[in-house]
Amino acid sequence: MERIYLDKMKATLHRKSGISTSYPVYTGDFRRHEPLTSAAARNGFSRCTGDVTAWTQCYYTTKEPEKDIFKVPESLKNHKIFKNYKSNIIQRIFRDMPLTTVIDLDTSASANPQTEISYPLKNIQFFLYGKLKTPKEDLKLNILKLGGLVVSKLTDTTAAVVTTKEELDKHSAMIQTIQNKDIEVIDESYFDLINAENGTVIDSLRLIKEKNIASWGSDLFKRIPKNVLDGKVEPKSGNMYKNSKHVETKSVIKDGHPIDLKSGLQNIAHVYKDSEKAFSEVLSKFSVENNQNSYYKLQLLEADDENKYWVYRSWGRTGTTIGGYQSDPFTSIDAAKEHFLKIYTEKTGDDWISEEFSKKARAYVPIDISYGDIKQSTIQFDSEVNLPKSVQSLITKIFDTEIMNKTLLEFKLDLDLMPLGKLSKSQIKLGYSVLADLLQAFDNNLVDEKKIKDASNRFYTLIPHSFGTDGIKLLDSPDYIKQKIELLDSLLDIEIAYKLLQSPSDGSLSPIESHYLKLKADIRPLDKTSPEFELISTYMKNTHAPTHLNYTLEIEELFEVIREGEAERYEKSKQLHNKRLLWHGSRITNVVGILSQGLRIAPPEAPVTGYMFGKGIYFADMSSKSANYCFANKTNTTGFVLLCEVALGEMKKCYAAQNIKKLAEGTHSVWGVGRTQPDPSQNKVLNDGVIVPLDETYRNGM
């Protein structure tokens, strides 16, 4: 029988360290520009007003647009106005004006993998009070464009109150509150002094002190959160000023669908269904050109006990508190339906009743989200259960929904947009397709700025990310694209875990035992005094690469895992020669998927070129190489690594990355030969012929 050892290890750091959807994909020449140009001068040039694709606006600009000679219609040639008319093309003269934003695209391997636009008011909070000279909506938009936030409530982290000297002199109750909080007061002229091109957050805060029109004001640099001063945002959903350790629930799941708490209807209404189709949509729109990252939620709610209906909608910038909501009451279901369908068509350009969605230019896209009534995991040790404590500890950790949420936040996914839910598998596959197309363009050297922007718009629309008011990160390098492939890989595994959490449980069993049985695997702790434990400990210690010395590894627990049906599945490969015990590291959130479904090759939609040697299951004979993929850190020091019996057979040796799509006949696996490896002359061969690369590492002379 094959061996799979689940190694729960501790890393100590030495230093900081449904409907079907179809989306049109542009396959033409991105170097050709949309011919429509605006006659109006924008920053000293004519600008295209069309669309490159359904996802991306045309942003081509020129000072000398192509023009056609005006031809007088035959019916008007004898008119006195046109008798002596001669058409002549004259180029318009523009005054030279500097561009406000320049993106330097470098697709070389050494280029920065992320292109980020800087904002001088990045995440600085402002509170607008009283009657202002500028319409508040216009002022809010200007603040947002500069990276700032407009808050609806005055808090201690508010950088400044925007009002007038006249309002200040009224000494109202609100002005008294502002004074008590010792918050600076500025007028609208402050924003005219901001350097939109080269200004920094520190410059903007100093300018607040300088332009303070009140007689009070505390130390801004002590009052404002450090991550704002640093120009950074912790990777979390929602308001950056909240405690990152807690993800606030902003909706409740009722009958399988979320209802926003701010609607006030969560206790008296539910999502209306017609022929099992729920009137509930989450829409997404993303535009690099306009720094737009928007969501729009639309629902038809039906009262639980009476004939009342509401069309509820909320909207805003993904990952921020910027936005609003509205609830429209109806006494007739037909009127409510009509209103719902009208809004959906206005936002998407498509009919809600269509079986196939067609993306329209500059319009929203529906996001396929699967919801489940999953509460935060509260699985605890149960002394009455016949499971070892170490196994119970394993189960509580791998089924911990808080850890799943933290993983999504690390990837900058928005948990407010997907409360206690997840993107469906079909939605994730659409994301894979976008990344595959773009990576193929990089491989064929056919990538340019337009293609990168179009792919970024498509991907971030389909897989909503929480950038807050940060600069949007383009998919502008193969390395950054591969990070997003890893995100989608993790989402697929988290989806498996959520399905198991949602699946019915035997009411006679405790939660921890029920979750254990759902894995369909026999998990046994290994005795720490056993020869096997000693062998694996030596293997881990000896194969810690000298290039990974910023942390050490120690085994906390070792489990032997026998998956249901695995022996039968392995039988056809067991006859291959060259079987070895090899490491495989993965995130904690992926362990449920691995234990319940085994190690799997990436789906067909995933890019072939996103992997060093093509699609496959990757193993290592160096423990630290695999440990790196557990993503343990100084705060979360525990990770999980598998030690698997792998039937390698005849190996193809590769000394550099190679995109392998199919192995030659008679070849069964690929060996990526590194500079450091265990000394093969010291391999230990077990009784059943399995090789353990046990000896200390050496340089192989590459």
625-672 pLDDT per residue, tens: 999 988 887 777 889 999 999 999 999 999 888 888 889 998 999 999
Q: Which residues contact 461 (CB under 8 A, 6 or more apart)?
A: 55, 284, 285, 286, 365
Q: Rank 186-190, 415-419, 654-658 by mean pLDDT and report only the highest.
A: 186-190
User: At 133, which CATH number?
Assistant: 3.40.50.10190
The answer, yes or no, to whether residue 158 has pLDDT greater than 50, is: yes
User: At 426, which CATH number?
Assistant: 1.20.142.10
The pLDDT, as a whole number, for residue 21 is 40
Q: Is residue 211, in this structure, part of any structural domain at all?
A: yes
Average pLDDT over residues 32-58: 65
Give the lowest-confidence range in 323-337, 412-426, 591-605.
412-426
Q: Is residue 630, in this structure, part of any structural domain at all?
A: yes
The pLDDT, as a whole number, for residue 32 is 37
The secondary structure of residue 596, as a DSSP letter, is H
337 and 433, same domain (yes or no): no
- 544, 552 Cβ separation under 8 angstroms: yes
Q: Is residue 93, in this structure, part of any structural domain at all?
A: no
The answer, yes or no, to whether residue 536 has pLDDT greater than 60, is: yes
Which backbone phi and psi does 149 adopt, to 5 degrees?
Answer: -125, 140
Which backbone phi and psi does 165 adopt, to 5 degrees?
Answer: -65, -35
Among the three residues 336, 367, 398, which one is the final residue of a domain in this structure? 367
Q: Is residue 239, in this structure, part of any structural domain at all?
A: no
Average pLDDT over residues 388-404: 88
- 675, 546 Cβ separation under 8 angstroms: no
Average pLDDT over residues 472-495: 88
How far apart are alpha carbons 435 and 412 in whole angstroms?
A: 17
361 and 394, same domain (yes or no): no
Q: Is residue 70, in this structure, part of any structural domain at all?
A: no
298 and 438, same domain (yes or no): no
519 and 639, same domain (yes or no): yes
In the predicted model, what is the mean pLDDT of the chain? 80
The pLDDT, as a whole number, for residue 94 is 65
313 and 349, same domain (yes or no): yes
Average pLDDT over residues 298-303: 95
Q: Is residue 563, in this structure, part of any structural domain at all?
A: yes
The pLDDT, as a whole number, for residue 156 is 80
The answer, yes or no, to whether residue 169 has pLDDT greater than 60, is: yes
> pLDDT confidence of 44, banded at 50, 70, 90?
low
Give 347 or 466, the one with higher predicted confidence. Answer: 347
* Residue 598 in tokens: 């085994």
678 and 570, same domain (yes or no): yes
The pLDDT, as a whole number, for residue 112 is 37
Which backbone phi and psi does 6 adopt, to 5 degrees?
Answer: -95, 115
Q: How many domains does the chain have?
A: 4
- 159, 126 Cβ separation under 8 angstroms: yes
DSSP 353-397: T-SEEE--TT--EE--EEE---PPP-----TTSSS-HHHHHHHHH
Average pLDDT over residues 108-136: 69
How far apart are alpha carbons 550 and 567 in whole angstroms?
A: 38
Note the pLDDT tens digit of each residue in 435-445. Answer: 999 998 998 89
Among the three residues 493, 516, 539, which one is the final residue of a domain in this structure? 493
The answer, yes or no, to whether residue 586 has pLDDT greater than 50, is: yes
How far apart are alpha carbons 627 and 610 in whole angstroms?
A: 20
551 and 651, same domain (yes or no): yes
N- to C-terminal Cα separation, the chain: 36
The pLDDT, as a whole number, for residue 25 is 36
The pLDDT, as a whole number, for residue 37 is 47
Average pLDDT over residues 99-123: 48
The answer, yes or no, to whether residue 430 has pLDDT greater than 70, is: yes
639 and 556, same domain (yes or no): yes
Q: Is residue 331, in this structure, part of any structural domain at all?
A: yes
The pLDDT, as a whole number, for residue 104 is 35
224 and 136, same domain (yes or no): yes
How far apart are alpha carbons 256 and 629 in whole angstroms?
A: 34
477 and 416, same domain (yes or no): yes
How far apart are alpha carbons 364 and 349 in whole angstroms?
A: 8
The answer, yes or no, to whether residue 372 has pLDDT greater than 70, is: no
How far apart are alpha carbons 641 and 619 in whole angstroms?
A: 11
Query: Which residue from 481, 472, 480 is spatially nearest to 435, judged by alpha carbons?
Result: 481
Give 59 or 662, the one with higher predicted confidence. Answer: 662
- 414, 318 Cβ separation under 8 angstroms: yes
User: At 579, which CATH number?
Assistant: 3.90.228.10
How far apart are alpha carbons 455 and 460 in whole angstroms?
A: 8
The answer, yes or no, to whether residue 131 has pLDDT greater than 70, is: yes
Q: Is residue 327, in this structure, part of any structural domain at all?
A: yes
The answer, yes or no, to whether residue 57 has pLDDT greater than 90, is: no
For the chain, give the percent of residues with pLDDT over 90. Answer: 34
Average pLDDT over residues 599-621: 85
546 and 679, same domain (yes or no): yes
Residues 455, 459, 462, 464, Cα dihedral to 10°: -140
What beta strand segments (E) does 129-167 contain? 149-150, 160-162
The pLDDT, as a whole number, for residue 435 is 94
Name the one residue in this structure whose structure tokens are 């005849």: 650
State which residues form the domain around 311: 257-367
pTM: 0.66
The answer, yes or no, to whether residue 451 has pLDDT greater than 80, is: yes
The pLDDT, as a whole number, for residue 343 is 97
Note the pLDDT tens digit of each residue in 302-351. Answer: 999 888 999 999 998 888 878 888 999 999 999 999 999 999 999 999 99
410 and 530, same domain (yes or no): no
Query: Which residue from 184, 190, 99, 103 is spatially nearest to 142, judged by alpha carbons?
Result: 190
